[in-house]
Amino acid sequence: MNTSNIHSHKVSLRLAITDALVAGLIALVLFGPIVGLVLDGYELRNNMGVAFIFVAIITTGRFFASLFFQSPIGVRFLEKFARGRKVRVTVAQASTNKFKKLLLPAIFLAALSYPVIAHVAPDLLGVFGGKYGITIMILALIYVLLGLGLNIVVGLAGLLDLGYVAFYAIGAYWLTIGYAELGLGFWSVLIISPIFAAGCGAILGFPVLRMHGDYLAIVTLGFGEIIRLVLNNWTSLTRGPNGMSAPDVTFFNMLSFNKRGADNLQPFHEFFGLEYSSSFQFIYIYWLLLIVVFLVLYINHRLVQMPVGRAWEALREDEIACRSLGLNHVLVKLSAFMIGASVGGVAGVFFASYQGFVNPSSFTFLESALIVAIVVLGGLGSALGVTIAAIVLTLLPELLREFSDYRVLMFGILMIVMMIWRPRGLVKPVRPAFESDKEQVKQKA
Amino acid sequence: MDNNAILNVAHLNIKFGGIIALKDINFHVPRASITALIGPNGAGKTTVFNCLTGFYKGGPGSKLTLSSKNKSNNLVEMLGEGFKLQDFINPPAFVKRIYFKMFGGTHLVCRAGLARTFQNNRLFEEMSVVENLLVAQHMSLEKSLLKGVFQTKDYLESQERALDKAHDWLKFFKLDKRANDIAGELPYGEQKRLEIARAMCTSPELLCLDEPAAGLNPAESAELSELIIRLRDEHRISVLIIEHDMHLVMKIADHIVVLNYGEVLFDGTPAEVRNSSKVIDAYLGKE
Ligand SMILES: Nc1ncnc2c1ncn2[C@@H]1O[C@H](COP(=O)(O)OP(=O)(O)O)[C@@H](O)[C@H]1O
Ligand SMILES: [Mg+2]
């Protein structure tokens, strides 16, 4: 509607009024039932006054927006916007920037020292101090892991997987079932979990990966729900909705974090001569998780420059071309699916052990959607962007507790704004550069 | 069947719904020569390529034989042909059939030594030029995850070999200045050349080009024909080329196959094709 007026720089009041009325009508249809009718006990209460206020705001807003976009300034703004949307991928420049090289170790050290500060001086960090703060950070790191894992599947290989939460659940239940049925402890489960989850990824992936695009999305969505329903209904193994408890996390199988010790293990605080605190266990989980996250980041960084990673991205760009170049597309997809699944499995183990308890309600579709949102916001393929998006999306709700009712609304607005303003996510895609000098063919980056 | 031919196409046929797109196509591509496949639009030229590379499955009776890498490859079988009656009394054939049904496909044709380009460019547009060429060398690269993560010596060596090869082909196609540019941002003519360079990185013996000169200006077109001739003479590549530019075809082709309405209309040398009244009628229309 606006773009048609770009060349005749004349403001049409009629157009603005039509735009405003159309927007108002849509708002009325949307807000009428959502805001206007409030479910109160078993009755519907009429709240149409508020709905009409919303509609009025939207109608006037649209009127002025329409006028603005018809003015010369607005037209220029739109043109600039249309140009800015074109994706521009760049090739990395050889960076000898010392600051950049020091940045990563600095972040690692800061992240490493965080729980100590949070434990010793909780007031310094506000919401993020104390045991509660540490658990929030653990959750943030778990989402970083999930984001990185799904990023391989969705961002790199371009396979829209809406059931990623299945592998998260598999990891978590692998810990609790392994403990209950096989007597495995945290450490044995953690070490086997990537392989176990990758195996599950292969079993789930092989039949579905011959599908494309939307079909794949629907099928994976189905798989996610199937796993949740199985966990809910196979009560003899999973105890259904009652959930299962996870084994205690031990200090390298040598010390216990319980106050009195457990399973013939000496208590951690006694051994180190510290005063008992229930935070120690979480600090320990946090550190382990931090190391795992950095390990995954490192492997991810390598993967994208390795033949496998390149094949994933090539597949995302053009599957037909890939096949014509001798790549077996099913195996390439399967490898992405398996590696993504293994990361999700590890995240699940950490989730179960940090909660101490799991039940199927933690693994709903909403969770999958959140992880997809993290990957999309982070910029499909960029590990850095995904990491930032995961941390922001988990910490922001904590900072904005007062607005917790509007969490989903704000989330939606954020998504819409991002899609318009930065459709390729927070971080601009950058390709690795290769030296073109034949004598010294070496990879930079 | 010609024994010196790198590719033998026999009784190739395919239907789309009720339309017979190809019926009983027979021709061969001699080794280290340039064969042109010409014909009016909709004649079925691209469909022949798609059958060769497995994007379409030829109908019953189709036989495609690629004699490359010192063996004779039955392309139809590689692409996962349906079961035949005699498979059920011959276990090894049965197992082979199942194997190709599960793991066969286009990629095996490429690995057997047939590379192709597409009528509409299919580059990895958001990847750099070198990366496009590295993807094509996937099969010869060290793919072990552990070796890659730890950057072992043989991993780095295999990567260096691949980069060397990529740069050789970039030089050949005069793209060496573009190595680190984004493929999608190259001018059209360079994208066309890059697609051929990428196909060459798979080390093919037979190169199938689908309208490589479409959309090029006369200078670029002349440059391209030069390069195709050099591929044949210096690298002993057999080329099967679909092209509408008759000037180019007559200049470079050793052998021309003319298709019309899904049938081979004529098969011969450029001079013969030029003088064939059948071909002239098909192109200019009779009456
Ligand atoms: N996937 C398909 N489905 C239906 N018809 C097709 C398909 N592919 C090709 N055809 C038909 O086959 C005929 C030959 O097409 P094509 O091989 O692309 O011609 P060209 O010689 O111009 O490359 C056309 O009539 C086309 O409509
Ligand atoms: Mg065609």
Residue with CA closest to ligand 1 atom 19: B42
Chain B: closest CA distance from residue A329 (Å):
8
The conformational region for residue A356 under phi > 0 = left, psi -120 to 50 = alpha, else beta, is: left
The pLDDT score that the predictor gives to residue A412 is 80
Q: Running DSSP on this structure, what letter comes out for residue A265?
A: B
Q: Does any CB of chain A come closer than 8 Å to the CB of residue B196?
A: no
Produce one character per residue of B81-94: b if its CB has 16 or more CB atoms within 10 Å, e if not.
Answer: beeeeebeeeeeee
Pick the residue from chain B with its C-alpha nearest to A327.
B107
Judging contacts by C-beta atoms under 8 Å, the chain B residues touching residue A432 are 128, 131
- Label residue A81 by pLDDT band (50, 70, 90): low
The pLDDT score that the predictor gives to residue B256 is 92
User: Are A90 and B142 inside 8 Å of each other by CB?
Assistant: no
The pLDDT score that the predictor gives to residue A182 is 84
Q: How far is CA B249 from CA B191, B198, B205, B229, B241, in A?
A: 21, 22, 20, 11, 9
Q: How far is CA A165 from CA A145, A168, A213, in A?
A: 12, 5, 19
The pLDDT score that the predictor gives to residue A279 is 78
Residue with CA closest to ligand 1 atom 6: B16
Torsion sign, CA atoms B127, B132, B138, B143: negative
The pLDDT score that the predictor gives to residue A95 is 58
CB atoms within 10 A of CB B184: 16
Residue B46 Cα, ligand 2 centroid: separation in angstroms? 4
- Label residue A216 by pLDDT band (50, 70, 90): confident
What pLDDT tens digit does each residue of chain B (287 aa) get?
556 788 999 899 999 988 899 989 999 999 989 999 998 888 999 999 999 998 898 888 888 888 887 788 888 888 877 777 777 787 878 888 887 777 778 888 999 999 999 998 899 988 899 999 999 998 888 778 888 888 888 888 888 888 989 999 999 999 988 888 888 888 999 999 999 999 999 999 999 999 999 889 999 999 999 999 999 999 999 999 999 888 899 999 999 999 988 899 889 898 888 888 887 777 766 54
CB atoms within 10 A of CB B26: 15
Q: Does any CB of chain A come closer than 8 Å to the CB of residue B145?
A: yes
Q: Does any CB of chain B come closer than 8 Å to the CB of residue A334?
A: no
The pLDDT score that the predictor gives to residue A432 is 80
Judging contacts by C-beta atoms under 8 Å, the chain A residues touching residue B151 are 302
Q: Does any CB of chain A come closer than 8 Å to the CB of residue B157?
A: no
The residues facing B65 across adjacent strands are B8, B74
Of B148, B182, B202, the CB nearest to A326: B202
State the pairing for strand pair A37-40/A43-46. antiparallel
- Label residue A98 by pLDDT band (50, 70, 90): low
| Percent of chain A at pLDDT exceeding 90 | 20
Q: How far is CA B245 from CA A275, B250, B251, in A?
A: 86, 9, 10
State the pairing for strand pair A266-267/A255-256. parallel
Q: Does any CB of chain B come closer than 8 Å to the CB of residue A295?
A: no
| B105, A323 contact by CB (below 8 A) | yes
The conformational region for residue A71 under phi > 0 = left, psi -120 to 50 = alpha, else beta, is: beta
Average confidence (pLDDT) over A130-158: 90
Least confident of A155-159, A432-436, B132-136, B200-204: A432-436
Judging contacts by C-beta atoms under 8 Å, the chain A residues touching residue B120 are none
B19 alpha carbon, closest ligand: 1
A143 phi/psi in degrees, rounded to 5: -70, -30
The pLDDT score that the predictor gives to residue B129 is 92
Q: DSSP 3-state helix, strand, coil percentages of chain B (rounded to 5)? A: 45, 25, 30
Q: Does any CB of chain B come closer than 8 Å to the CB of residue A441?
A: yes
The residues facing B9 across adjacent strands are B27, B64
Residue with CA closest to ligand 1 atom 4: B16
Judging contacts by C-beta atoms under 8 Å, the chain A residues touching residue B118 are 320-321, 324
pLDDT digits (tens, 9 = 90+) for A296-311: 999 998 888 889 999 9
Q: Running DSSP on this structure, what letter comes out for residue B58?
A: -
Judging contacts by C-beta atoms under 8 Å, the chain A residues touching residue B99 are none
3 state DSSP class of A53: helix
The Cα B138–Cα A226 span in angstroms is 36
Is 60 exceeded by the pLDDT of residue A190?
A: yes
Measured at the CA of A58, the angle between CA A57 and CA A60, to 5 degrees, comes to: 70
B79 phi/psi in degrees, rounded to 5: -85, 5
Pick the residue from chain A with its C-alpha nearest to B163.
A441
Q: Which of 85-124 (A) contact B at CB < 8 A? A: 87, 89-91
Residue A260 or B188, more confident? B188
Measured at the CA of A438, the angle between CA B194 and CA A91, to 5 degrees, comes to: 55
Q: Does any CB of chain A come closer than 8 Å to the CB of residue B202?
A: yes
The residues facing B19 across adjacent strands are B16
Q: Does any CB of chain A come closer than 8 Å to the CB of residue B101?
A: no
Judging contacts by C-beta atoms under 8 Å, the chain A residues touching residue B54 are 323
What fold is seen in the domain B5-75+204-284?
A: Rossmann fold (3.40.50)
For chain A, domain boundaries: 3-85, 108-431
- Label residue A266 by pLDDT band (50, 70, 90): confident
The pLDDT score that the predictor gives to residue A443 is 46
B43 CA: nearest ligand 1 atom: 21
State the pairing for strand pair A250-251/A255-256. antiparallel
CB atoms within 10 A of CB A426: 16
C-alpha closest to that of A49 among A66, A63, A32: A32
Is 70 exceeded by the pLDDT of residue A6?
A: no
Q: Enumerate residues lining ligand 1, CB below 6 A.
A: B 16, 19, 21, 39, 41-47
- Label residue A86 by pLDDT band (50, 70, 90): low
User: Are A321 and B123 inside 8 Å of each other by CB?
Assistant: yes
Residue with CA closest to ligand 1 atom 17: B44
Most confident of A45-54, A384-393, A427-436, B70-79: A384-393
The pLDDT score that the predictor gives to residue B105 is 82
Is 50 exceeded by the pLDDT of residue A141?
A: yes
What count of Cα atoms within 13 Å lies in the side-chain half-sphere of residue B214?
14
| B33, B255 contact by CB (below 8 A) | yes
User: Are B53 and A324 inside 8 Å of each other by CB?
Assistant: yes
The Cα B130–Cα A309 span in angstroms is 15
